[in-house]
Every structure is written in C-alpha cells, then in structure tokens.
C-alpha cells in the first residue's frame, strides 16, 4: 500500500541547534503538507508545497519538496523551546485525494 515514512522518529537537540526531518513516500505525491502537533495538542497545518523542487520558508523553518515529488524535508534553524512537538508530513496520492500522513518526527529541546 501507499506509505509515507519519516526519519528520524525522535530527535533531541540542544536549544540553538538545527533540526531536520525527512519525509519519503513510496509513490509520487500531488503535493506535500506539513503539520505540527504540540505535546497534548492536535495537528495544526503549517504549509503546503505543490511544485517539483519547491522551497518555502517561514521564519526559521525551511520546507523543500523533492524533484520527483516523492520526498520532502523540514529544516529548523536555531531551534527554540517553542519548536517542541511532533512534525508530520502528509500528501494526497495521484488518483486519491485523501491525505496519507507520515509517521511523524518528535522533536524535544534540551534547554
């Protein structure tokens, strides 16, 4: 079946260090979305990328969509305690509009 894997599953970083999570799909995605879930909270939409090779930035966050539209990454520069949470990628497969979510990367920050 269609699968979206994320690595790493967990990441512990010192405050101020950079963080990257990678999202890999078994098949081509029509777009990729990223969501953030704070501890005890619910997923919240961050961004959507649609074009092959697209790069978008939100302050310290940089999102990339791969050329083959099968992978994506989220990079956070100089992490802060507010970045704590689990980051999910999600994408609809061509021919199926429903989102398939990645397994998530849980980020913890060591002050």
1 binds another protein (CB under 8 A): yes
Q: Please name every residue paired with 96 in a beta bridge, in sequence order, or none if there are none.
A: none
84 binds another protein (CB under 8 A): no
DSSP one-letter code for 83: G
Of 8, 28, 38, 45, the one binding another protein (CB under 8 A) is 45
Residues 6+ apart with CB under 8 A from 39: 84, 85
Of 11, 20, 27, 48, the one binding another protein (CB under 8 A) is 48
Distance CA 22, CA 36 (A): 14
Residues within the interface to another protein (CB under 8 A)? 1, 4, 6, 9, 30-31, 33, 35, 41-45, 48, 50, 88, 90, 92, 97-104
């Amino acid at each position: 079946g269609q699968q979206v894997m994320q690595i790493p599953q967990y990441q512990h970083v010192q405050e101020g260090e950079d963080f990257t999570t990678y999202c890999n799909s078994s098949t081509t995605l029509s777009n990729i979305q990223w969501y953030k879930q704070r501890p005890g909270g619910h997923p919240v939409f961050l961004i959507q990328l649609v074009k092959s090779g697209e790069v978008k930035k939100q302050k310290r966050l940089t999102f990339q969509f791969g050329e083959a539209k099968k992978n994506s990454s989220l990079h956070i520069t100089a992490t802060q305690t507010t970045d704590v949470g689990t980051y999910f990628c999600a994408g609809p497969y061509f021919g199926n509009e429903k989102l398939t979510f990645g397994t998530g990367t849980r980020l913890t920050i060591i002050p």
